[in-house]
Structure 1
Amino acid sequence: MLMTVIEILDRLIGFPSVVGTPNDAIVGWIKDYLEGYGARVSVLTGPEGDRANLFATIGPATVPGYVLSGHMDVVPAKEPEWSSDPFTLRLAGDRLYGRGTTDMKGFIAAALAAVPKLAGMRIGRPIHLAFSYDEEAGCQGAPHLIARLPGLCAKPLGAIIGEPSSLRAVRAHKGKTAARVTIRGSAGHSSRPDLGRNAIHAMAEVLNAAVAEAERLTHGPFDPTFEPAYSSLQVGTIAGGQAINIIPDHCALEVEARAIAGVDPAGLLRPVKATVDALHSRGVDAEWTHMSAYPALSLASDASLAGVMAELTGQAPLAAVSYGSEAGLYQAAGIEAIICGPGDIGRAHKPDEFILTSELAACQRMIEALGHRCAA
């Protein structure tokens, strides 16, 4: 019996596939669903051992086709403002509430709902489903999936990354990298600072370097397709110390950089890392730990995939968005990539996340239209 897109989304939301946790349950359900329609499915376990990507093909794998890319993980849903269980789909009017409805299980549900029609088209060019893990931790799973593609299919013509974009294709986003700085000092009574080493005071040099670099970046280089039009850097978290009268023996800071196309994200953090290295050379126990990274996306306006998406959506692709995605990873692997998915990014990562029933239906129609194109 065919499942509707809402029924599929209901099942997907019911899996609490929070980033950084095992995902065998959702992977297993999607695998069984797809195999029920004759898709060739590969479960690709990541190096963590308890998380996997999933790759499936409808049509001939030896012919270049298109990838529909989505991530199965979601951010946590611990906010007290939720009006209902975030892992139980709730319909109110035309809104479907639940963690991941917009970011981005809605796209996955639409793709799965289109599978029965795609499977019945006997398409000449394949459509691949590439579902990753831990995207919300900085695209941790997708690189392992993309590395396996040469053994799974002919080089794809393009990858459509279904991040929420109101079903308007997007050609570019910034690249990102993030790191954690840890400084260890020695504790003691605050009345004798000479007998301890204050980790927070030492971290102040790192914080100052980050703030200075963030300010410098506001002066360019610029790319007007982005908002803001320049690369950026910020400290997102800082924590340390136990009490006001104890010399803090530990301080940790997390810093990220987002780079416009043509700028290396890692290079933006070099002045901050240089400060950490200088502290270490002076005998401070300072550690730099890489957390995550993904490259920028920059698809030319006259690229073949941009033309395909203009036909499928009836709108010219947008130049750029401020958020990031796995699209840059596909482009770095030599595969044209573009963002296009249902929902609004403004609803993501907050209580009472929702997607509209009309948005799901429109996305399903778009994917089925891609199938007709592949069958022509």
Structure 2
Amino acid sequence: MKAFEILEQLVAFPSVVGQANGAIVEWVRAYVARFNLEVTILQGPEGDRSNLFATIGPKNVPGYVLSGHMDVVPANEPEWSSDPFELRAQADHLYGRGTSDMKGFLAAALAALPELASRQLSQPIHFAFSYDEEAGCRGVPHLIKRLPELCAKPEGAIIGEPSNMRAIRAHKGKAAARVEIRGRSGHSSRPDQGLNAIHAMAEVLADAAAGAGRLALGPFDPAFDPPYSSLQVGTIKGGQAVNIIPDLCSAEFEARAIAGVCPSALLTPIREKAESLRSRGLQVNWELMSEYPALSLAKDAPLAQLLKDLTGQELLAAVSYGTEAGLYQEAGIDAIICGPGDISRAHRPDEFILVDELIACQSMIETLGARLSR
């Protein structure tokens, strides 16, 4: 099957983040199994979604991981020009949810599989397809934990997030948390008899805004844009009516950290401020929703040189969005980002990828196979 034909199949699965993904996993498993390759389905703790791992070549020697996620963000925007889960071709544009982020990479890898399987590889190429990346890389840690029983420690991991087929050496880390404050309800005419949860949360929000301002003062890493760590309040919910003292308020906070800074540590002052409210009789619950580390691959790393050779392009130093790459690096595996499509097309209506981008990615993977052949 050609890459765009595989992409058509993959896009048709509405594998939205946080939902069961058995259908797309089974399709990929069956496709890979046609080439007499061993496929391992790694069920996550949620019970209804899984990672998938397959190896081409000898699994007992170090090789390379091709890493991608099978989940996509929802496609509820009314601006879509066609069904987001039905691939639409228009000239060289292929429209559909996940085409760039990142089923295009999966399709290119699977389209390269016949060529890879026909070779006698001296080093293996692994497919590592994960779930719930869009929820803060929740699926891939379970896969990485199982790698020692699946294969020899890989020499490197190529994370196929959309990068216009230009390899990227670094990205920021991220942590997200939810704070819930519970007070006491009552009639708004007697504020002395209640505990206003929104008022209490306002103090936490003010501390968060001040913290964001301080982060803009440094430390700096000029490779990133912006060149500093950041912090924001993403959502806030609370209250029932204007004449009722709100007894519940929740807010979600996000931190993005430059390399060398722990993302969750940036949220610690917010947690401390929120938990200090307990002294006033308020109930406070803190939930760390997700966290992944930054990526920082040295410019002279062998994996960096390999991707320069494979793509024929100079590497980009860094991007501000995050990927699963930092988790591979944290596990002691060099990682780099390189995939078809453009991140600016992701998470928006009429997401698309170009046919030439799919072909270029497939070619890169097949060239990697040629380099690893006996």
User: Considering the TM-score relative to the shorter chain, is it more than 0.5?
Assistant: yes
Deviation at 1:281, TM superposition (A): 3.2
Instruction: State the partner residue of 2:334.
Output: 336
Instruction: State the partner residue of 2:181.
Output: 183
Q: Deviations over 1:350-375 (max 9, x none)?
A: 00000001100110000000000111
Instruction: State the partner residue of 1:76.
Output: 74
Instruction: State the partner residue of 2:4.
Output: 6
Q: Deviations over 1:36-65 (max 9, x none)?
A: 012211000000000100000000000110
Q: What secondary structure does 1:253 align onto?
A: strand
Instruction: State the partner residue of 2:47.
Output: 49
Q: What secondary structure does 1:355 align onto?
A: strand
Q: What secondary structure does 2:246 align onto?
A: coil
- Matched ranges for 1:1-376 at <5 A: 3-376=1-374
Give 2:274's aligned amino acid. V
How far, CA to CA, are the matches of 1:124 and 1:40 in structure 2?
A: 17
Aligned residues of 2:183 and 2:281 also touching (Cα < 8 A): no
Q: What secondary structure does 1:369 align onto?
A: helix
Deviation at 1:93, TM superposition (A): 0.8
How far, CA to CA, are the matches of 2:278 and 2:302 in structure 1?
A: 50
Deviation at 1:90, TM superposition (A): 0.4
Deviation at 1:123, TM superposition (A): 1.1
Count the aligned residue pairs.
374
Q: What secondary structure does 1:258 align onto?
A: strand
How far, CA to CA, are the matches of 2:280 and 2:196 in structure 1?
A: 14
Q: Deviations over 1:298-350 (max 9, x none)?
A: 00000000000000000121100111000000000000000000000000000
Q: What secondary structure does 1:78 align onto?
A: coil
Q: Deviations over 1:110-130 (max 9, x none)?
A: 000000000001211100000
Q: Bigger CA drift: 96-105 or 245-254?
A: 245-254
How far, CA to CA, are the matches of 1:296 and 1:23 in structure 2?
A: 27
How far, CA to CA, are the matches of 1:73 and 1:314 in structure 2?
A: 30
How far, CA to CA, are the matches of 1:188 and 1:284 in structure 2?
A: 15
How far, CA to CA, are the matches of 1:48 and 1:249 in structure 2?
A: 31
Deviation at 1:282, TM superposition (A): 3.1
Q: Deviations over 1:78-97 (max 9, x none)?
A: 00000111000000111100
Q: What secondary structure does 2:18 align onto?
A: coil
How far, CA to CA, are the matches of 2:106 and 2:152 in structure 1?
A: 22
Where do 5+ consecutive residues of structure 2 fail to align?
none
Runs of 4+ in 1 over 3 A off after TM superposition: none
Give 2:124's aligned amino acid. P
Identity of aligned residues (%): 69
Q: Bigger CA drift: 345-354 or 282-291?
A: 282-291
Deviation at 1:283, TM superposition (A): 2.1
TM-score by length of 1: 0.99
How far, CA to CA, are the matches of 1:361 and 1:203 in structure 2?
A: 51
Q: Bigger CA drift: 254-263 or 242-251?
A: 242-251
Give 2:146's aligned amino acid. R
Aligned residues of 2:136 and 2:291 also touching (Cα < 8 A): yes
How far, CA to CA, are the matches of 1:364 and 1:236 in structure 2?
A: 37
How far, CA to CA, are the matches of 1:267 and 1:215 in structure 2?
A: 16
Give 2:34's aligned amino acid. G
Q: CA RMSD in A?
A: 0.7
Q: What secondary structure does 1:269 align onto?
A: helix
Deviation at 1:280, TM superposition (A): 1.9
How far, CA to CA, are the matches of 1:365 and 1:191 in structure 2?
A: 70
Q: Bigger CA drift: 152-161 or 185-194?
A: 185-194
